[in-house]
Amino acid sequence: MLGITDIWTYVLGTVAIILLPGPNSLFVLSTAARRGVPSGYKAAAGVFLGDTVLMALSAAGVASLLRAYPPVFLAIKYAGAVYLGYVGLQMIRGALRRWRGTPRTTPAAPAAEALPHPFRRAAVISLLNPKAILFFISFFIQFVDPAYAYPALSFLLLGLIAQLASALYLTLLIFTGTFLAAQFRRRRRLAAGATTAAGTLFLGFGLKLATG
Protein backbone atom coordinates (compact mmCIF):
# COMPACT_ATOMS: atom_id res chain seq x y z
CA MET A 1 0.00 0.00 0.00
CA LEU A 2 1.75 3.15 -1.26
CA GLY A 3 5.12 1.56 -0.72
CA ILE A 4 4.52 0.55 2.91
CA THR A 5 5.60 -3.02 3.52
CA ASP A 6 3.42 -3.97 6.53
CA ILE A 7 1.08 -1.18 7.54
CA TRP A 8 -0.73 -2.94 10.40
CA THR A 9 2.49 -3.94 12.11
CA TYR A 10 3.55 -0.31 11.83
CA VAL A 11 0.24 0.92 13.29
CA LEU A 12 0.39 -1.43 16.26
CA GLY A 13 4.04 -0.70 16.89
CA THR A 14 3.50 3.06 16.67
CA VAL A 15 0.61 2.98 19.14
CA ALA A 16 2.66 0.90 21.57
CA ILE A 17 5.62 3.27 21.35
CA ILE A 18 3.44 6.37 21.79
CA LEU A 19 1.82 4.89 24.89
CA LEU A 20 5.21 4.42 26.56
CA PRO A 21 5.76 7.20 29.13
CA GLY A 22 8.21 9.83 27.93
CA PRO A 23 9.10 13.50 28.19
CA ASN A 24 6.71 14.60 25.42
CA SER A 25 3.59 13.13 26.98
CA LEU A 26 4.57 14.15 30.51
CA PHE A 27 5.20 17.72 29.39
CA VAL A 28 1.80 17.99 27.68
CA LEU A 29 0.01 16.47 30.70
CA SER A 30 1.74 18.73 33.22
CA THR A 31 1.17 21.83 31.06
CA ALA A 32 -2.55 21.10 30.74
CA ALA A 33 -2.82 20.36 34.46
CA ARG A 34 -1.28 23.67 35.44
CA ARG A 35 -2.40 25.99 32.66
CA GLY A 36 -5.52 24.51 31.08
CA VAL A 37 -6.66 23.14 27.72
CA PRO A 38 -5.37 25.97 25.44
CA SER A 39 -1.83 25.73 26.84
CA GLY A 40 -2.04 21.95 26.69
CA TYR A 41 -2.79 22.11 22.98
CA LYS A 42 0.01 24.63 22.47
CA ALA A 43 2.38 22.09 24.01
CA ALA A 44 0.86 19.33 21.86
CA ALA A 45 1.38 21.49 18.76
CA GLY A 46 5.04 21.86 19.72
CA VAL A 47 5.31 18.07 19.93
CA PHE A 48 3.68 17.73 16.50
CA LEU A 49 6.13 20.24 15.03
CA GLY A 50 9.15 18.51 16.55
CA ASP A 51 7.99 15.10 15.38
CA THR A 52 7.27 16.43 11.89
CA VAL A 53 10.79 17.81 11.64
CA LEU A 54 12.22 14.45 12.78
CA MET A 55 10.08 12.64 10.20
CA ALA A 56 11.28 14.95 7.43
CA LEU A 57 14.91 14.49 8.48
CA SER A 58 14.45 10.73 8.55
CA ALA A 59 12.95 10.78 5.06
CA ALA A 60 15.85 12.95 3.88
CA GLY A 61 18.39 10.38 5.02
CA VAL A 62 19.54 11.89 8.31
CA ALA A 63 18.60 8.63 10.05
CA SER A 64 21.30 6.86 8.03
CA LEU A 65 23.78 9.59 9.00
CA LEU A 66 23.08 9.10 12.70
CA ARG A 67 23.54 5.36 12.34
CA ALA A 68 26.81 5.83 10.46
CA TYR A 69 28.19 8.43 12.93
CA PRO A 70 27.26 7.46 16.51
CA PRO A 71 29.03 10.53 18.02
CA VAL A 72 26.43 12.76 16.33
CA PHE A 73 23.63 10.84 18.01
CA LEU A 74 25.48 10.96 21.34
CA ALA A 75 25.80 14.74 21.06
CA ILE A 76 22.04 15.03 20.51
CA LYS A 77 21.42 12.61 23.35
CA TYR A 78 23.46 14.62 25.87
CA ALA A 79 21.95 17.90 24.68
CA GLY A 80 18.53 16.38 25.32
CA ALA A 81 19.61 15.21 28.78
CA VAL A 82 20.78 18.71 29.72
CA TYR A 83 17.59 20.33 28.44
CA LEU A 84 15.31 17.89 30.23
CA GLY A 85 17.25 18.52 33.43
CA TYR A 86 16.82 22.26 32.94
CA VAL A 87 13.05 21.90 32.44
CA GLY A 88 12.83 19.75 35.57
CA LEU A 89 14.70 22.28 37.68
CA GLN A 90 12.49 25.11 36.41
CA MET A 91 9.37 23.16 37.36
CA ILE A 92 10.69 22.32 40.81
CA ARG A 93 11.67 25.94 41.42
CA GLY A 94 8.16 27.13 40.53
CA ALA A 95 6.64 24.44 42.75
CA LEU A 96 8.73 25.57 45.71
CA ARG A 97 7.47 29.12 45.27
CA ARG A 98 3.88 27.89 45.35
CA TRP A 99 4.56 25.71 48.39
CA ARG A 100 5.87 28.76 50.24
CA GLY A 101 2.83 30.73 49.19
CA THR A 102 4.66 33.23 46.98
CA PRO A 103 3.55 32.47 43.43
CA ARG A 104 4.21 35.14 40.83
CA THR A 105 1.05 34.41 38.91
CA THR A 106 -2.65 34.81 39.50
CA PRO A 107 -4.74 31.91 40.84
CA ALA A 108 -6.26 31.45 37.37
CA ALA A 109 -2.85 30.57 35.90
CA PRO A 110 -0.92 28.68 38.57
CA ALA A 111 2.82 28.25 38.18
CA ALA A 112 2.86 29.77 34.71
CA GLU A 113 6.16 31.46 35.46
CA ALA A 114 7.78 28.05 35.78
CA LEU A 115 6.92 27.11 32.22
CA PRO A 116 6.84 29.98 29.70
CA HIS A 117 6.21 29.39 25.99
CA PRO A 118 4.78 25.83 26.12
CA PHE A 119 4.79 25.52 22.31
CA ARG A 120 8.46 26.40 21.93
CA ARG A 121 9.56 24.34 24.90
CA ALA A 122 7.59 21.28 23.74
CA ALA A 123 9.10 21.56 20.26
CA VAL A 124 12.64 21.59 21.70
CA ILE A 125 11.87 18.66 23.99
CA SER A 126 10.51 16.71 21.02
CA LEU A 127 13.50 17.49 18.80
CA LEU A 128 15.97 16.44 21.51
CA ASN A 129 13.98 13.41 22.67
CA PRO A 130 16.11 10.28 22.03
CA LYS A 131 13.00 8.10 22.25
CA ALA A 132 11.54 9.93 19.24
CA ILE A 133 14.87 10.00 17.39
CA LEU A 134 15.35 6.26 17.86
CA PHE A 135 11.78 5.69 16.67
CA PHE A 136 12.53 7.41 13.37
CA ILE A 137 15.98 5.81 13.02
CA SER A 138 15.18 2.20 13.84
CA PHE A 139 11.43 1.79 13.30
CA PHE A 140 9.86 4.45 11.08
CA ILE A 141 12.03 3.94 7.99
CA GLN A 142 11.88 0.13 8.12
CA PHE A 143 8.37 0.11 6.64
CA VAL A 144 9.20 1.93 3.42
CA ASP A 145 9.72 -0.28 0.38
CA PRO A 146 12.99 0.95 -1.23
CA ALA A 147 11.76 -0.24 -4.63
CA TYR A 148 8.65 1.94 -4.54
CA ALA A 149 8.75 4.74 -7.13
CA TYR A 150 7.36 7.46 -4.83
CA PRO A 151 8.89 7.01 -1.36
CA ALA A 152 7.75 10.51 -0.33
CA LEU A 153 4.16 9.22 -0.36
CA SER A 154 5.17 6.32 1.87
CA PHE A 155 6.81 8.62 4.39
CA LEU A 156 3.83 10.98 4.28
CA LEU A 157 1.35 8.20 5.08
CA LEU A 158 3.54 6.79 7.85
CA GLY A 159 3.88 10.28 9.29
CA LEU A 160 0.13 10.93 9.19
CA ILE A 161 -0.54 7.66 11.03
CA ALA A 162 1.99 8.52 13.73
CA GLN A 163 0.65 12.06 14.15
CA LEU A 164 -2.97 10.87 14.34
CA ALA A 165 -2.14 8.34 17.05
CA SER A 166 -0.14 10.99 18.91
CA ALA A 167 -2.96 13.56 18.61
CA LEU A 168 -5.54 11.16 20.07
CA TYR A 169 -3.27 10.21 22.97
CA LEU A 170 -2.22 13.79 23.76
CA THR A 171 -5.86 14.92 23.66
CA LEU A 172 -6.66 12.30 26.30
CA LEU A 173 -3.77 13.57 28.40
CA ILE A 174 -4.85 17.21 28.00
CA PHE A 175 -8.36 16.56 29.29
CA THR A 176 -6.98 14.39 32.08
CA GLY A 177 -4.80 17.35 32.93
CA THR A 178 -7.77 19.72 33.14
CA PHE A 179 -9.42 17.42 35.67
CA LEU A 180 -6.24 17.50 37.72
CA ALA A 181 -6.15 21.28 37.39
CA ALA A 182 -9.55 21.56 39.07
CA GLN A 183 -8.17 19.62 42.02
CA PHE A 184 -4.99 21.70 42.11
CA ARG A 185 -6.86 25.01 42.20
CA ARG A 186 -8.45 23.98 45.49
CA ARG A 187 -5.27 22.54 46.96
CA ARG A 188 -2.22 24.74 46.52
CA ARG A 189 0.17 22.32 48.20
CA LEU A 190 -1.16 19.38 46.21
CA ALA A 191 -0.43 21.36 43.04
CA ALA A 192 3.08 22.16 44.27
CA GLY A 193 3.69 18.51 45.13
CA ALA A 194 2.48 17.31 41.72
CA THR A 195 4.65 19.88 39.93
CA THR A 196 7.64 18.81 42.01
CA ALA A 197 6.96 15.17 41.08
CA ALA A 198 6.78 16.08 37.38
CA GLY A 199 9.99 18.10 37.64
CA THR A 200 11.70 15.20 39.38
CA LEU A 201 10.63 12.89 36.56
CA PHE A 202 12.16 15.26 34.02
CA LEU A 203 15.39 15.25 36.04
CA GLY A 204 15.19 11.45 36.04
CA PHE A 205 14.76 11.38 32.26
CA GLY A 206 17.80 13.62 31.91
CA LEU A 207 19.96 11.52 34.24
CA LYS A 208 18.89 8.31 32.51
CA LEU A 209 19.87 9.74 29.13
CA ALA A 210 23.18 11.05 30.43
CA THR A 211 24.16 7.75 32.08
CA GLY A 212 22.40 5.21 29.86
Residue 1, in any domain of the structure:
no
- For 129-150, letters b (16+ CB in 10 Å) and e give bbbbbbbbbebbbebbeeeeee
52 contacts 161 by C-beta, under 8 angstroms: no
Alpha-carbon gap, residue 131 to 137, rounded angstroms: 10
Residue 147, in any domain of the structure:
yes
What letter represents residue 153's amino acid? L
Model pLDDT, residue 202: 63
Residue 129, in any domain of the structure:
yes
Residue 2, in any domain of the structure:
no
Sequential DSSP letters for 102-168: --SS-TTSTTGGGS--HHHHHHHHHHT-HHHHHHHHHTGGGGB-TT-S-HHHHHHHHHHHHHHHHHH
Model pLDDT, residue 123: 92
Model pLDDT, residue 92: 74
How many structural domains comprise the chain? 1
Model pLDDT, residue 188: 58
Residue 194, in any domain of the structure:
yes
Residue 73, in any domain of the structure:
yes
Q: In residues, how long is the chain?
A: 212
23 contacts 205 by C-beta, under 8 angstroms: yes
One pLDDT digit (tens) per residue for the chain, 212 residues: 677 887 888 888 888 778 877 888 888 988 888 788 899 999 999 999 999 988 888 777 765 665 666 676 677 667 767 766 776 777 677 666 666 665 444 333 344 444 568 899 899 888 887 777 777 766 777 777 767 777 778 888 888 999 999 999 999 989 887 776 665 555 555 556 666 666 676 667 667 656 76
Structural domain boundaries enclosing 114: 7-211
Residue 61, in any domain of the structure:
yes
Q: Please, what is the Cα angle at 22 between 98 and 80, to 5 degrees?
A: 85
